[in-house]
Amino acid sequence: MIRYYDRLKTLRPLISGYADEQIAKTKVRLNMVSNQKVIPFYDGQEFDDAIFDLAYGKILSFVFHLKKSSNLYLKFKCKKNNLIISITPDEQIGNEIFFPKDKKRLLKSLGFKRNKTKEYFQLKFSLTSFKDAQPVKTIVSRVIYDVFYRNELDTETTLVIQSNF
């Protein structure tokens, strides 16, 4: 922005006073951002553990709640050496969450498809060479940030595990 206003001053000398004000404001904002302490965020191991437990047959499934009040969740289960990630069936989602065409298009771009009965979206992820939960976490983060936008969801999420016992 500073370079933009500097160039603007040379192109339009009559508004150099305005450009100087904007440069000063930008420098103040830049200084504030530069002096902010960044607290590192370390995610817990719970999600990774749940993925590995599921992949190795220690649990049957788990549900990752994105917005509990609207019953929006991702369900994870294994079937025939595939991890299946499904989103809450349409009729179970609360009124405040809906799937307009742009969200459906984004889900499809991530690899989600409607299930056979067209009740919900699901994605199949092959576990044949599974060694790392990062690709699954990437899919989940894309759903959170690209499809539902983080601000539409709960700030804290919960995992509900269905065990074999």
pLDDT (0 to 100) of residue 129:
86
Q: What is the pLDDT of residue 67?
A: 84
Q: How far is 144 from 157, CA to CA, in rounded Å?
A: 11
Sign, CA dihedral 88-89-93-95, equals positive
* Band of pLDDT at residue 66, cut at 50, 70 and 90: confident
Single pTM value for the model:
0.67
Q: How far apart are CA 140 and CA 142, in angstroms?
A: 5
Please report the pLDDT score of residue 96 as a whole number. 57
d(C-alpha 131, C-alpha 50), whole Å? 14
Query: Which of left, alpha, beta for 111 (phi over 0: left; psi -120 to 50: alpha)?
Result: left
* pLDDT greater than 70 at residue 62: yes
Q: How confident is the model at residue 43 (pLDDT cuts 50, 70, 90)?
A: low
pLDDT of 123 higher than 90 = yes
Confidence of residue 27 (pLDDT cuts 50, 70, 90): very high
Q: Over pLDDT 90: what percentage of the chain?
A: 31
Candidate from 34-38, 103-107, 148-152 with smallest mean pLDDT: 148-152
Cα separations in angstroms, 162 against 14, 16, 116: 69, 66, 24
Q: Starting at the edge strand that comes first in sequence, how are the strands of the sheet with 158-163 ordered?
A: 113-114, 121-126, 82-87, 72-79, 59-67, 158-163
115-130 average pLDDT score: 88
How much is the average pLDDT of 96-109?
Answer: 78
DSSP tally for the chain: helices H, then strands E? 5, 6
